[in-house]
Amino acid sequence: MNIKNYFLLLALLVLVTTSKAQTKKIQADKKESSVTYQMTHPLHEIEATSKDIGCWVDYDPAKKEISHVYVQIDVTSFNSGNSNRDSHAMEVIDAISYPKVKFSSTSISPNGDKLKITGKLTFHGITKEITFDVLPKWENNKLTVTGNFIISLTEFKIERPSLLMIPVKDELRFSFIEVFNL
């Protein structure tokens, strides 16, 4: 290897190492973070929350940019305050066969003061691409990300639960707050 190629290789290595060093992977604080789902039945609203969320982001602290998001939640961690309802929900989504909900971003882009996130959501053994907006707030050495999205139960091959032979609406609404200590 001649000296010119050696210095070119060394410069390339320094460039790659420097660009990787700027991005950090951080996990959301489970004490301050939560994901809630809402389901609507003509007779009542059903809501359950999980605080046991594995959520990580790759971010660049100098640019305050998020480049990747990964989320994993155990479906049995959602609590509606009614154990019978929660048990039935676990039967409906077959929690034994499909114990986790996962999301991995494929693109993140600015959208005004929000971020537009596209990625793959795996739920009930089915993976679908979804897109939603989040609002990031950078303050007091914390990054707080809030957002929401809606999925169709039938698109994920889930039979809609019913009460008095009336099924819930086909949409399952999710809202979340994820807090990262910087």
pLDDT digits (tens, 9 = 90+) for 147-156: 999 999 999 9
Average pLDDT over residues 63-88: 95
> Does residue 82 sit in helix, strand or coil?
coil
pLDDT digits (tens, 9 = 90+) for 23-75: 999 999 999 999 999 999 888 899 999 999 999 999 998 898 999 999 999 99
Which class for 18: exposed (0-12), middle (13-18), buried (19 or more C-beta within 10 A)?
A: exposed
> Does residue 12 sit in helix, strand or coil?
helix
Average pLDDT over residues 168-182: 96
171 and 40 in contact (C-beta within 8 Å)?
yes
Who has greater pLDDT, 110 or 22?
110
What are the sequence ranges of the domains in the chain? 23-181
Average pLDDT over the chain reads 90
- pLDDT class of 20 with cuts at 50, 70, 90: low
Looking at the domain 23-181, which fold is it?
Answer: Lipocalin (2.40.128)
Alpha helices in the chain (DSSP H): 3-22, 83-92
Res 3 pLDDT > 70: no
pLDDT of residue 18: 47
